[in-house]
Amino acid sequence: IDQSLIRNFSIIAHIDHGKSTLADRILQLTGTVADRDMKNQILDDMDLERERGITIKLNAVQLTYKAKDGKTYLLHLIDTPGHVDFSYEVSRSLAACDGAVLVVDATQGVEAQTLANVYLALDNNLEILPVINKVDLPSADVERVKEEIEDVIGLDAQNAPCISAKTGLNVDEVLEDIVKNIPAPTGSINNPTQALIFDSYYDSYRGVIVIVAVKDGSIKVGDHIHFIATDATYEVTEVGVRTPREITKDELVIGEVGWIAASVKDIKDVHVGDTITTLENQSKTALPGYRRMNPMVYCGLYPVDNARYKDLRDALEKISLSDSALTYEPETSQALGFGFRCGFLGLLHMDVIQERLEREFDLDLIATAPSVIYRIVKRDGSYTSIDNPASMPDPGTFDHIEEPYVKVSIMTPDDYIGAIMDLCQNKRGEYVDIEYLDDSRREVIYNMPLSEIIFDFFDKLKSSTKGYASYDYELIGYRESDLTKMDILLNGEVVDALSTIVYRQFARTRGNAICVKLKELIPKQQFEIPVQAALQGKIIARTNIKAVRKNVLAKCYGGDISRKKKLLEKQKEGKKRMKAVGSVEIPQEAFMAILSVD
């Protein structure tokens, strides 16, 4: 391979602007995937990605492109997710690249994650190539979007390719731009070997597979790879690339992006962000790696069947290989037994992990109400951090509580500014500024408690702006707040897994709403169940779940047997994610009740 003909790039964009579709067209245009094997969003190979129509995991493929200059280039394309919760995947992809193709939807313009991803690319010193997509749509406004890219981002967009990733129009211009403007990798085959691990996953036959970008030197089958951070050494059994089909090769050389198998059985030896070198051509130093992401939301994950605790531990260990932003630690709950306190980047991340654990490891899980990290500050100014409302100490034993605040930036057409300000105000937001983006769009900035953002802010924002606004946020620190723990009692007993920390002024309304919601969600049982919300033992809201009156099967007796079977099956299905707490059966949804009340 001629190193000067290698190009490594990512495709970045706001969600839905067309990254995965552009990747499809590039794979097709370069003949990497034959037309008859083509399907939409081909790189979104996880079932969950296909069902939800979103990219969750980054994906790296190798392809060749014969450019107009007559030379054949070797390209590595890394597709990335667009949702905020997965920005960690983006920053890892970018560290493996030399350039980024920035896709902007010609009907939408620059959105919050367009900007966030540009910052990530700049952090990695990447060449950024703007591309204007969806020009086939009647509402495309290419000139306005070009101006926006220049004004808001500060990139020259005059010569940006104007494409339709859907029809393939002008996609060849993007490839030409890539080979002309993205630099070739700068390392050397003669330098000590350094390869950046930017992803990994567990394969039950071959052990841990690591995905690397080789920055210097080479890695051959039979070489002894050394993980610098964890100081572990293994012999390489296989290396290869994906096209997106997995292809095995004899070696990976400088500039290549591919996978390595080395019978790595101990998952703990592999850290995404670590550097691999070889004993045959050893480097003493590691590549910079990247900043660790800190989880923003925590919840407890418990197996419905207590006997499967060890399986859950195993599953978490394996899944965290391919998702290094996930954290987990054992915890116990009086109500739910043994489980893990898990940390996530956001609610979508939490939801995706729970679903992946259930599908890929055949587990049934209960997730408890999510919580941010609070600081309990003592009189001497020292503090302890808690990520579980159940571990909040009694009032009187500390001075005050602090909660995380974020600076939220919302990009919106100006028609919705009023609605957005109302929403932010209702969520305890503190107005900071409104900035001008162009004639018809503004950036609204508020400081707000993280907990208010995480819960249903996104849905509310979407519905109050018809989906036209986008947002991004960053942590700005902790602030004192008037917060208190709210307990939920079922049948007179506090259920620790249902406790939440609430803003005192919201407690009564929230308490009421949760009780009503629980009444809806918890199936009737043989006896009446009082549902109560309490602050420090003082009841602030209550309702009752009435006892079942008659056998649900009674009306089927003598009737249609298949209908009876169906009913029983339906009940069994419903039982799957149910947990008996004392004498009450609680379904999964009940633990999420806090999210859907307001």
Query: Which residues sit at the interface with ligand GDP, rule CB under 6 A?
Result: 13, 15-21, 41, 55, 82, 133-134, 136-137, 164-166
> What's the per-residue H, E or C state across 563-593?
HHHHHHHHHHHHHCCEEEECCEEEEHHHHCH
Give whichever of 20 and 32 is closer to ligand GDP, judged by the CB atom. Answer: 20
CA distance 240 to 257: 9
How far is residue 243 from each of residues 78, 281, 474, 527, measured CA to CA in Å? 11, 28, 36, 60
CA distance 579 to 594: 18
Which structure tokens are listed for 252?
């990976």
Give whichever of 41 and 509 is closer to ligand GDP, judged by the CB atom. Answer: 41
Please indicate if the annotation marks 18 as binding a ligand.
yes
Please indicate if the annotation marks 39 as binding a ligand.
no
Pick one of Mg ion, ligand GDP, none as the site partner of residue 257 (Cβ within 5 to 8 A by kind): none
Please indicate if the annotation marks 16 as binding a ligand.
yes
Please indicate if the annotation marks 70 as binding a ligand.
no
Q: How far is the CB of 352 from Mg ion (least distance, A)?
A: 14
Q: How far is the CB of 20 from Mg ion (least distance, A)?
A: 3
Query: Residues interacting with Mg ion, by CB under 5 A?
Result: 19-20, 55
Q: At 424, is the secondary structure helix, strand, or coil?
A: helix
Pick one of ligand GDP, Mg ion, none as the site partner of residue 17 (Cβ within 5 to 8 A by kind): ligand GDP
CA distance 530 to 375: 32
Place of tokens 């590595």: 76
Please indicate if the annotation marks 134 as binding a ligand.
yes
Name 131's bridge partners: 103
Pick one of Mg ion, ligand GDP, none as the site partner of residue 242 (Cβ within 5 to 8 A by kind): none
Question: Left, alpha or beta for 106 (phi > 0: left; psi -120 to 50: alpha)?
Answer: alpha
For residues 332, 334, 338, 344, the Cα torsion angle rounded to the nearest 10 degrees is -60
Give whichever of 113 and 322 is closer to Mg ion, judged by the CB atom. Answer: 113
Pick one of ligand GDP, Mg ion, none as the site partner of residue 16 (Cβ within 5 to 8 A by kind): ligand GDP
Q: How far is the CB of 389 from Mg ion (least distance, A)?
A: 35
Which structure tokens are listed for 540?
């602030």
Q: How far is the CB of 416 from ligand GDP (least distance, A)?
A: 22
Q: How far is the CB of 2 from Mg ion (least distance, A)?
A: 31
Give whichever of 11 and 272 is closer to Mg ion, judged by the CB atom. Answer: 11
Give whichever of 55 and 481 is closer to ligand GDP, judged by the CB atom. Answer: 55
Q: How far is the CB of 144 from ligand GDP (least distance, A)?
A: 17
Q: What is the DSSP string of 178-244?
A: HHHHSPPP---TTSPPEEEEEEEEEETTTEEEEEEEEEESEEETT-EEEETTTTEEEE--EEEEESS
CA distance 577 to 455: 22
Pick one of Mg ion, ligand GDP, none as the site partner of residue 13 (Cβ within 5 to 8 A by kind): ligand GDP
Pick one of Mg ion, ligand GDP, none as the site partner of residue 15 (Cβ within 5 to 8 A by kind): ligand GDP
Pick one of Mg ion, ligand GDP, none as the site partner of residue 243 (Cβ within 5 to 8 A by kind): none
Q: How far is the CB of 119 from ligand GDP (least distance, A)?
A: 18
| Burial grade of 41 (CB within 10 A; 0-12, 13-18, 19 or more) | middle
Give whichever of 351 and 585 is closer to Mg ion, judged by the CB atom. Answer: 351
Please indicate if the annotation marks 17 as binding a ligand.
yes
Find the distance separating the first CA and the last CA of the chain, reported in whole Å.
Answer: 60
Give whichever of 87 and 277 is closer to Mg ion, judged by the CB atom. Answer: 87
DSSP 346: S
In the annotated binding site for GTP, the residues are: 16-21, 133-136
In the annotated binding site, the residues are: 16-21, 133-136
